[in-house]
């Protein structure tokens, strides 16, 4: 009887090990996918041309007065900058987020074209802290 118990324990151990391994793999792949690095404008400008063609995630602040909208074709051109005061033109085609305006922090995903412009496939704006504080205050009521 102790041998059959031993077999059962081995089966349980193997099954539990496979389950833990599968969960670990799912966690690893989820963290890897969401852990994409954000580049600054200065970092992207200093990259080699080959590296700029890969999918990049760029963050910066919209340069005041640089926004040019083509509402008919859903196109948007604007410049973003970082702390170094270097800037880069971003081309976006799609629906513009409601919060998009001068001096707002944005994250764009895409690549740099041959003319040195960032062609965005995603455009995200961050909410100003005053809206976050108002939301937190409303939720605590």
- The reply to whether 15 and 47 lie within a common domain is no
- The reply to whether 24 and 52 lie within a common domain is no
- Winning range, highest mean pLDDT, from 6-10, 31-35, 121-125: 121-125
| pLDDT tens for each residue of 35-79 | 567 888 988 888 887 777 767 889 999 999 999 999 888 899 999
What is the 8-class DSSP label of residue 47?
Answer: S
- The reply to whether 79 and 115 lie within a common domain is yes
Domain membership flag for residue 139: no
What are the strands, taking DSSP E only, across 1-141? 56-62, 68-70, 75-81, 87-93, 105-112, 118-125
Domain membership flag for residue 136: no
Range of the domain at 92: 41-131
- The reply to whether 113 and 96 lie within a common domain is yes
- The reply to whether 54 and 115 lie within a common domain is yes
- The reply to whether 58 and 110 lie within a common domain is yes
Residues of the chain with pLDDT > 70, as a percent, come to 80
Domain membership flag for residue 137: no
Pairing of strands 118-125, 87-93: parallel
- The reply to whether 97 and 114 lie within a common domain is yes
pTM: 0.65
Q: How far is residue 68 CA from its own chain's centroid?
A: 23
- The reply to whether 46 and 83 lie within a common domain is yes
Q: Quote the pLDDT of residue 4.
A: 59
Domain membership flag for residue 140: no
């Amino acid at each position: 009887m102790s041998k059959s118990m031993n077999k059962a324990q081995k089966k349980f151990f193997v099954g539990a090990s496979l389950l833990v391994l599968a969960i670990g793999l799912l966690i690893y792949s989820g963290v890897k996918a969401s852990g994409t690095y954000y580049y600054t404008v200065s970092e992207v400008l200093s990259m080699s041309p080959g590296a700029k063609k890969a999918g990049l995630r760029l963050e910066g602040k919209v340069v005041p007065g640089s926004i040019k909208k083509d509402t008919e074709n859903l196109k948007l051109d604007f410049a973003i900058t970082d702390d170094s005061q270097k800037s880069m033109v971003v081309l976006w085609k799609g629906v513009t987020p409601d919060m998009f305006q001068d001096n707002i922090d944005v994250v764009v995903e895409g690549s740099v074209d041959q003319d040195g412009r960032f062609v965005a496939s995603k455009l995200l704006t961050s909410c100003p802290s005053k809206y976050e504080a108002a939301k937190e205050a409303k939720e605590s009521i």
